[in-house]
Amino acid sequence: MTQMPRGSTIRRDAGLYGYERALERAGMTPIAGVDEAGRGACAGPLVAAAAILPPGKRGEVPGLADSKLLSAKQREECYAHILRRAVAWSVVTMPSSDCDRMGMHVVNIEALRRALARLTVRPGYVLTDGFGVDGLGVPGLAVWKGDRVSGSIAAASVIAKVTRDAMMVRLHEDYPAYDFATHKGYVTPEHQAALRLHGPCREHRTRFINVRVAGSRSDLPPMRQRRPAMAGQERSSADEF
């Protein structure tokens, strides 16, 4: 990943769109933000999203912030605004089986790459949350806590979070014993209690120690036959709904 263009500076009080405004002044457009949801969960898919917001006021999404700081209702409202306003957006899901097979860091980078590749508009600059994604063919910058200081990254984080939450609610119908609809696959006392009682299901990630420990017991009842594990999916602004 590269640095900000020479001469570009970000003021501490620049707000959520400071990086975008500085890059626009330097002619580094369009600007794509990319982020993921579900990296720290021990069950369910990893979801990555990319978003290109339009320049100027049109690209300022009402109520937008880091998806983790918004309520579910606020995220849904921002999600609708983002999809209406975005120049381009995309979302990619990586199933729990890929998380186990590739490892969380590798699968995370791969998901971010795919999300960016799915954009129908080629970005001139890429902002990523936390760590860089090399080999994109365009300059970019890894931004510490990017979903709190970059509008493009925050938009991507909302798309990823809303998409993944909806998937976990659907998985709750197949695996009601784990209450995925409430905790979305993250480690909570209630999720841990369900793991101890029922053992892991197909959507649990065996690379997580709590899942391996829960699955090592010999006194668990056999799992009931259920639908195959959720496969990866990809959507973008080019898709018809």
The full set of domain ranges for the chain reads 18-162, 170-215
Mean pLDDT of 218-234: 54
Give me Rg for the CA atoms of the chain.
19
pLDDT at residue number 7: 54
Q: Out of 3.30.200.210, 3.30.420.10, 3.40.50.460, 3.40.50.720, which CATH number does the structure's domain 18-162 have?
A: 3.30.420.10
Residue 76 buriedness (CB in 10 A; 0-12 / 13-18 / 19+): middle
Lowest mean pLDDT among 12-16, 66-70, 74-78, 195-199: 12-16
Percent of the chain with pLDDT over 90: 73
Neighbours of 219 (CB within 10 A): 5
pLDDT at residue number 226: 41
pLDDT at residue number 170: 97
State yes or no: pLDDT of 104 exceeds 70.
Answer: yes
| CA–CA distance, 55 with 17 (Å, rounded to integer) | 10
| DSSP β-ladder status, 31-37 and 125-129 | parallel
State yes or no: pLDDT of 24 exceeds 60.
Answer: yes
Mean pLDDT of 12-36: 89
pLDDT at residue number 225: 38
